[in-house]
Amino acid sequence: MRFVSGVVLFAGLLGCSTEHRPVDLILRGGAVYTMNPAQPRAEALAIADGRIVAVGSDEEISAVYASENTIDLEGQMVLPGFVDSHSHAVASGVALAQCDLALLDSVADVLAKVTACGDAQPGTGWLVGGGWNPALFKDANPNKALLDSLGLDRPVALESEDSHSLWVDSRALALAGITRDSTDPSGGVIERDLQTAEASGTLRERTAMNLVQDQVPPISDAVREAGLLRALALAKEFGITSIIEASAGASELAAYDAVDARGELSVRVVVSVQVTDPQATELMRPQDRGTARRVHADAAKIFVDGVLESETAALLEPYLDNPGSTGQLLELTQQLNARVVDLDRRGIQVHLHAIGDRAVRAALDAVAAARIANGALDNRHHIAHLQLVDPADRSRFAELGVVANIQALWAYPDAYITDLNLPQVGQARVDQMYPFASLVRAGTTLAGGSDWSVSSMNPLLAIQTGIMREDPAGVAVGVLNSAERLPLQKMLEAYTTNGAYLMHQENHTGSLEVGKFADIVVLDRDLFDVPVAQISEVHVTRTLLAGGTVYSR
């Protein structure tokens, strides 16, 4: 029985020679792009016990192997499963069931959605959610009065889509005890009315946000696990078979372990444990590294600074609209260095958030301090986001073995950059943003991540944007720094081999080679034959983890 592309061909009992080696699955007739330089292209794969046992032409595979399960791909593209090197899967999956304000493009639409959420979730308990776009509000600073005017008669707390700001109503501020006399917590900002000095309703960075969020009733384990399963469902649709959880505490790690124990974890994951979690030391498991288990907790997350939009990103030169400020480092240099030295010594990979050029330099300095103190260990520290990187620091990534964890979907002139960042930092610094190609030219390894749900989880959207540096939706006009465009090959490396390397999984995943797990994504078209502007329109037709189909379109 033979069906169209991607459907199983039952061949095991139809004349297969008994001399053929039986395997669990054969993929044939595909444009197999292995990401293995020694054998870059193939047509077929043979899979047994979750691993690849052969890679070659249709003729070579059929001469040796037979299976009752043979998928005739009819020219579809086969790649290693995508690696998302920066995703907030648990928290973002939970948020999907809350008041979701993502993708709304006007203040009126946001307020209408909040009202609808209140109607759909009756009661007097907290209304929580997030995903609002800071660029919709003047100075990225929505006011409590907007929420108060909705008459919800309940406390409201809504995170921004970048998770660095919290918009709250007057009831939430009162429950948190925030008044005009409250001082800003270390590393955070309570935005205020310029005339009255009263809290305006926007809180910046986690220490300030937590003043309110600590008052919100805790989320149950069951809700958190359900959120993770929502995230996994999306990941499978996008061909993602491995992720790095960008920032987790005890509860998030417990969700991964619980879902894994039930056999429902459809990705391999490295969990970056937030260093501020009270149990951080006990949660980190350096012994996980390099093993074939699904959940690894051998990494730590450190926020070095905030974001440009709230002017909490740490810059080498002042903000143009606030000449007295260069933002802030969330940890003193000496403290940051000591923390990274200690984690490095213990065999823990450090995952550093850095947006501004001063923060990037501080992160690199901390890794350099670890190198001096501990020698060159194979911990593969990485810095995420890298909106601004001083040219003097670009060569230091390769020198220190630091991976650049990039979010390519941000690298186009959207409203964040044109409406918020441009007045803050000026055209010269905008023209230096997201210097991906410059980092590659300096010898840096790039790994691709989405920062979901800050932006889409879809790797193909990010790959297209990294190549074009233009809005894949065609709404925003122009190109962001055309000299920083990357070729398709480099973007594929970022989402496959380099991501696997960053996870210390290069012996298990990241390329289609004999002995590696059969973590595979099948695309309906060959990306090398598709116009670049149409890459985001290509569909995932099948996702396999350890040779088992976890998604089929």
What does the pLDDT look like over 198-241, one tens digit per residue? 999 999 988 999 999 999 998 999 999 999 999 999 999 999 99
Two tokens, residue 144: 């409590």
- Of 336, 110, 130, 307, nearest to 204 (Cα)? 307
Q: Which of 129-133, 319-323, 326-330, 525-529 has the lowest mean pLDDT?
A: 129-133
CA distances in angstroms from 482 to 354, 409, 434, 461, 541, listed in the order given: 23, 14, 11, 17, 32
**Given this model, what pLDDT does residue 12 score?**
36
Mean pLDDT of 404-422: 96
Using an 8 Å Cβ cutoff, are 297 and 253 in contact? yes
**Given this model, what pLDDT does residue 16 score?**
45
Counting other chains too, the contacts that 185-192 makes at CB distance below 8 Å and 24 or more residues apart are 185/211, 187/328, 187/330, 189/310, 189/312, 191/141
CA distances in angstroms from 288 to 196, 235, 284, 350, 546, listed in the order given: 53, 23, 9, 15, 19
Q: In what order do the strands lie in the sheet with 540-545?
A: 41-42, 31-33, 77-80, 520-523, 540-545, 548-552
Rg value, the chain, Cα: 24
Q: In what order do the strands lie in the sheet with 446-448?
A: 82-87, 240-248, 268-274, 295-303, 349-354, 382-385, 403-406, 446-448
Summarize pLDDT for 474-526 with one digit per residue, the tens: 999 999 999 999 999 999 999 999 999 999 999 999 999 999 999 999 999 99
- What is the SS3 assignment for 77? strand
Banded model confidence at residue 173, pLDDT cuts 50, 70, 90? very high
Amino acid letter for position 390: D
**Given this model, what pLDDT does residue 290 score?**
85
The model carries a pTM of 0.90
Phi, psi of 31 (to 5 degrees): -90, 85
How many angstroms separate the CA atoms of 171 and 154, rounded?
Answer: 7
Handedness of CA 272, 275, 279, 285 (dihedral sign): positive
The mean pLDDT of the chain is 94
Mean pLDDT of 54-72: 97
**Given this model, what pLDDT does residue 311 score?**
93
**Given this model, what pLDDT does residue 5 score?**
30
Banded model confidence at residue 194, pLDDT cuts 50, 70, 90? confident
Q: Which of 1-5, 147-151, 276-280, 353-357 has the lowest mean pLDDT?
A: 1-5
Indicate whether 459 pLDDT > 50: yes
More confident residue, 357 or 124: 357
Two tokens, residue 102: 């993502």
Two tokens, residue 287: 């012994």
Summarize pLDDT for 98-108 with one digit per residue, the tens: 999 988 989 99
**Given this model, what pLDDT does residue 52 score?**
98
**Given this model, what pLDDT does residue 462 score?**
98
Banded model confidence at residue 18, pLDDT cuts 50, 70, 90? low
205-225 burial, b at 16+ Cβ within 10 Å, e below that, comes to bbbbbbbbbebbeebeeeebb
Banded model confidence at residue 164, pLDDT cuts 50, 70, 90? confident
- List of residues 6+ apart from 11 with CB closer than 8 A: 66, 67, 68, 70
